[in-house]
Amino acid sequence: MFAAHGRRSRGKATAKCTPATDYPSQESFPPGCEAQAKEIEHCKQWGVSGKFEQCSPQDTTSIAFPAPGQRKKRRGLARQCPALGHGGNVRDNPRSETAGLSRVLRRGWSQVTTLFISDLHLAPERPQSTGQFFDFLENQATRAQALYILGDLFEYWIGDDAAADLGHRGVIDALKHLHDGGVTTYFLPGNRDFLVGERFSRETGCILLPDPTVVDLYGKRILLMHGDSLCTDDKEHQHFRALVAQPSWRKDFLAKPIAERMALATDARAQSELNKSTLPMAIMDVNQDTVESVMRSFGVRTLIHGHTHRPAVHQFRIDGAPVQRIVLGDWYERSSVLQYSGDKLSLTP
Ligand SMILES: [Mn+2]
């Protein structure tokens, strides 16, 4: 299955948070904005400031923080926020929440990177990809400041209550282990796993992000998407995407017994494979006009997405300004990871 749920931007209210007293309360965030609420809790706890643009459930998310090194230091590094990966009380207890960050700090800020992955399509019938993912979580990811998963982590997802039935308990535990080690992990759903929900978030520690989301990383505004919403030439997919975005569709689907959901997902996957084999390749890729229009509307010069399984860094211009669209690769043959550290960007393979 599935086409990802679409979210359309509406008006935004901006709330500027300072360390003193004016954090928005958890209650002021409407359902669907749990990510912002969690960020604010982290900042309250660690006494750092941030800028939050509140959103409605249909809005995009925007999370802004100064880059490491740009923040005005208070008592060196010891007062910054570990959970957001921008500094923190450095403790040497390997079991502490800040252990991951502590390791990063000891290596110096030059080693600080944010990782992006997508399209792992994990499924019990593809154990090699799952093995690569576990290896990635135990090694490369533990040295990162934060990890962003931009959708299609799973081949399909039919509700958080069915994780064990789909054989994904190990993946949940491994993500939780990374979180407990101090690496902040974000999950933006794809068209295969758009039904990932709050229980998954609780069990893994992943912060759920809507598609699209704008993040401020190392002083740059970056637009994150899964990517399927950019494939506007595939009308059938866009129709399905709009359908499953409806809360009533989700509610009805999740109310069905797991076996029935499983059967529906199997049918949808078979249909998707059929479409892939019959539709022209160009239709399955992004539409350049849509890309430019989306980047223009968010005022960003960098877009990172997956979905098309065509890893590349596309450089072009919008209204005369140089911009880049970074496409993550899939994990069918080998792991594909984007490392980003502000001025340095590397996409492997
Ligand atoms: Mn996809």
Measured in Å, residue 122 CA sits from the centre of ligand 1 at 12
Domain that holds residue 297: 108-340
Is residue 303 one of the residues assigned to a domain?
Answer: yes
Measured in Å, residue 213 CA sits from the centre of ligand 1 at 16
Query: Which of the two residues, 48 and 265, has the higher pLDDT score?
Result: 265
Measured in Å, residue 65 CA sits from the centre of ligand 1 at 29
Question: Are the C-beta atoms of 149 and 122 separated by less than 8 Å?
Answer: no
What CATH number should be reported for the domain holding residue 174?
Answer: 3.60.21.10
Measured in Å, residue 152 CA sits from the centre of ligand 1 at 5
Task: Supply the pLDDT for residue 97.
Answer: 41
Question: Is 9 a residue whose pLDDT tops 90?
Answer: no
Instruction: Kindly tell me the sign of the dihedral angle through the C-alpha atoms of 9, 13, 18, 24.
Output: negative
Measured in Å, residue 322 CA sits from the centre of ligand 1 at 27
Is residue 266 one of the residues assigned to a domain?
Answer: yes
Is residue 16 one of the residues assigned to a domain?
Answer: no
Domain count, the chain: 1
DSSP string, 120-140: --B-TT-HHHHHHHHHHHHTG
Q: Model pTM?
A: 0.72
Is residue 83 one of the residues assigned to a domain?
Answer: no
Region 8-13: mean pLDDT is 35
Measured in Å, residue 8 CA sits from the centre of ligand 1 at 18
Is residue 311 one of the residues assigned to a domain?
Answer: yes
pLDDT digits (tens, 9 = 90+) for 22-81: 333 333 333 444 445 555 454 444 333 333 333 333 334 444 443 444 433 333 222 223
pLDDT digits (tens, 9 = 90+) for 307-319: 999 999 999 999 9
pLDDT digits (tens, 9 = 90+) for 94-150: 344 444 445 545 444 435 899 999 999 999 989 999 999 999 999 999 999 999 999
Measured in Å, residue 26 CA sits from the centre of ligand 1 at 32
The amino acid occupying position 215 is: V
Measured in Å, residue 211 CA sits from the centre of ligand 1 at 12
Question: Is 90 a residue whose pLDDT tops 70?
Answer: no
Task: Supply the pLDDT for residue 37.
Answer: 53
Measured in Å, residue 112 CA sits from the centre of ligand 1 at 28
CA distances from 308 to 222, 281, 292 (A): 19, 10, 17
pLDDT digits (tens, 9 = 90+) for 188-197: 999 999 999 9
How is the beta sheet containing 50-54 ordered, strand by strand?
A: 13-17, 50-54, 61-64, 213-217, 220-224, 302-305, 321-327, 312-318
Task: Supply the pLDDT for residue 165.
Answer: 94
Region 201-221: mean pLDDT is 96
Question: Is 200 a residue whose pLDDT tops 70?
Answer: yes
Measured in Å, residue 286 CA sits from the centre of ligand 1 at 12
Measured in Å, residue 226 CA sits from the centre of ligand 1 at 7
Is residue 1 one of the residues assigned to a domain?
Answer: no
Is residue 244 one of the residues assigned to a domain?
Answer: yes
Is residue 212 one of the residues assigned to a domain?
Answer: yes
